[in-house]
A and B are shown apart, each in its own frame.
Chain A
Amino acid sequence: MTGAENGPGDAALAELIVAREVERFLIREVGLLDDRRFEDWIELFAEDGTYWAPARIDQDDPWEHVSLFFDDRELMTTRLARLRHPRVYAQIPHSRTSHTIGNVTVDPPDPAAREYEVTARFVMLDYRPGHGQRSFGGRYDYRLVRDGAGFLIAAKKATLLNCDDVHEAISIPF
């Protein structure tokens, strides 16, 4: 019989390591949005990566049904370049946001895997001076791929609890 340090303890530790690694990545990712570092945020996406916020709670396809956001990198770039424009009136004054992330799950729980399916819950507060504070929240689904020491986002899906509500203008990604 081998010692306990070579048994389930290693697997649990490995899972903890990868979970923490992913969590740190996600905290950094949403933090870039809160810090308005939009160009750096786009860089976290793989070349063919997508950012998607469905408009229906059970929506499993971004092509057959409209969405709040469904951006490839090109559209992300167009959208976020607009936020830098001096006359982007819908964002004068601009929103302050705070993304909080939690309940992170990572599959597979293996630090050596190439690709991960990640789920999490999020809350985003959006305060635009003069317009009151709004809260958005729901579920994140990510597909992350290993990239050197870090990750790239192959897909990020943000499903709002009230995705099919009648919203006032939204400018900052969830």
Chain B
Amino acid sequence: MPENGDLSGLVADDRIHRKIFQDPAIFDLEMERIFARSWVYVGHGSQVPEPGDFLCTRIGAQPVVMTRHTDGRVHVLYNRCGHRGVKVVAEERGNARRFVCMYHGWTYDTNGDLDFVTQPEGYPEGRHPDKVRDGMGRVARVDDVCGFVFANLSPEGPGLRDWLGANVICLEDLAASAPDGEVEIRGGVHRYMYRGNWKFQIDNLSDMYHPAYSHESSSRPTGQQFARRKGDKGGIEFREKRGRVKSMDPLGVSALPNGHSWQGGLPQIENTSELHREYVRRLEARLGPERTKDILAKTRHNVIFYPNMAMQELNPHIRVIRPVAADLTEIFVYPIRLKGAPEQMFREQIRILNGTHSASSMVQTDDVEAFARAQEGLSTTGNEWILLARAGPETVDHNTGRVRSIGTSEVAMRNHYATWLSLMSRER
């Protein structure tokens, strides 16, 4: 951390300083200036369908609880007692009429308000705990798009839709790809961790330069990766005939305001299975053939919702990034079920996600190895810089601020760090 607090020297046009990944003081500042001031993904409404349902998670390093209150509203509460600060909710998820603190029995409503103080006569006139001020505390702002709930610990700054910009369309398209027009999170969660900085995962999700190298072991001798959907004729092509690495450039990558970005998309892989045809029939029944074709022409691969979430459409799931320390990160991967799609399709989706995104996956294990090696490599002092210099022709969509370039351009990563610097430089 520079002594005067000026971080601008750490981010240049085509390179960033290694301290960004190494310095614990910078990590602490990220928790304050990025995770406590941006719209951070928390969970999906379908994870708390009934009043009293709750789900414990984190915003940055802070424990929070997402609840559905008796009036049906979703709240995000700081997970601490108003009295002595003890974490109130210890189970990861469940249903409760009220939350009771284990320490002195203070009781809270599912909207975080203080419901009951034990032995209230012990508080003299004028000192009795206040229902709201001494409650668990609701985070400043909570909003959702298609049930995807985001929270912002700061009352100031743009609203959720302004923050997400064109990424809103990605969530809407995902919901539209469900025959019932809605998605839900179901089927549990894959969890894994790595000994590296959280930003490695963000950058990797916009990185189309690495797959043929990092993930070479997941491809067949023909240069094609295993199929990612039941009925797909094959997987992603890493290599062409004669072993030349196939360039991902034609797929494109896009950088959006506020650090968001899209990959791709991937080329259409033919799927002629009866299951897929049944899904298409169901989708057409609601949307008609034109719109269905439009929705199925999946043009994006990973979509990053800066700073802590990414979604993937091909085998629908979201990935949540949980920073723990400068050199420790946890990843949570949730399958998304397209409501109204054939049940067997979701089962296949789960099966394939086990292979691609579990702790024992055939893909992520390479990525986390790269992240841990980057953390170690960046402890060396002979070179202070990481290069993000790859670039190609760029087109700008002035309505959305989207900058699109060739697939292996590092434009999205430069965009992550432009946003990073701008958020990190704001003193209030």
Q: Which A residues lie at the B interface, using CB under 8 A?
A: 53, 55-56, 62-71, 75, 78-79, 82, 85, 87-90, 164-171
- Known contacts being A55-B190, A88-B217, is A170 close to B354, with CB within 8 Å? no
Interface of A (DSSP majority class): loop
Contact indicator B369/A66 (Cβ below 8 Å): no
Residues of B within 8 A of A66 (CB): 187-190, 333, 335, 350, 353-354, 358
Could you tell me the distance in whole angstroms from the C-beta of B364 to the nearest C-beta in chain A? 7
B299 at the interface (CB under 8 A from A): no
Name B369's contact: one of A53, A79, A164, A169 (CB within 8 Å). Answer: A169
Kindly state whether residue B161 has any CB partner on chain A within 8 Å: no
Q: Give complex CA distance A105, B99 in Å.
A: 43
Residues of B within 8 A of A (CB): 187-195, 214, 216-218, 226, 330, 333, 335, 347, 350-351, 353-355, 358-360, 362, 364-366, 368-370
Query: From residue A60, how far is it (CB to closest CB) to chain B in Å?
Result: 13
Residues of A within 8 A of B351 (CB): 62-63, 70
Q: Which residues of B contact A88 (CB under 8 A)?
A: 217, 366
Bound-state CA distance A56–B189 (Å) is 9
**A68, B366: Cβ atoms under 8 Å?**
no
Q: Is the CB of A79 within 8 A of B217?
A: no
Q: A63-B350, A65-B350 in contact; A167/B362 too (CB < 8 A)?
A: no
Chain A residues within 8 Å of B353, by CB: 66
CB distance A67 to B194 under 8 Å? no
Known: A53-B360, A66-B335, A89-B214. 9 other contacts (CB 8 A): A55-B188, A66-B350, A68-B354, A69-B358, A82-B217, A88-B217, A90-B368, A169-B359, A170-B360
Contacts of A164 in B (CB 8 A): 191
A43 nearest CB across to chain B (Å): 21
The complex places the Cα of A53 from the Cα of B361 at a distance, in Å, of: 12
Contact for B330 among A53, A65, A166, CB less than 8 A: A166
Whether A89 lies near B335 (C-beta < 8 A) is no
* Contact pick for B366, options A62, A63, A69, A90, CB 8 Å: A90
Is A68's CB under 8 angstroms from B368's CB? no
> Which residues does chain A contribute within 8 Å of B365, judged by CB atoms?
90, 169-171
Question: What are the residues of chain A within 8 A of B188 when measuring CB–CB?
Answer: 55-56, 65-66
Could you write out 24 A-B pairs with CB less than 8 Å apart?
A: A55-B358, A62-B351, A63-B350, A63-B351, A66-B188, A66-B189, A66-B335, A66-B350, A66-B354, A67-B354, A68-B359, A68-B360, A70-B351, A75-B355, A82-B362, A85-B216, A87-B217, A90-B365, A90-B366, A90-B369, A164-B191, A166-B193, A169-B359, A169-B369
**Are A79 and B355 within 8 A (Cβ)?**
yes
Collect the chain B residues with CB atoms within 8 Å of residue A170's CB. 359-360, 365
Task: Find out whether the CB atom of A166 lies under 8 angstroms from the CB atom of B191.
Answer: yes
Contact in complex: B366, A89 (CB < 8 Å): yes
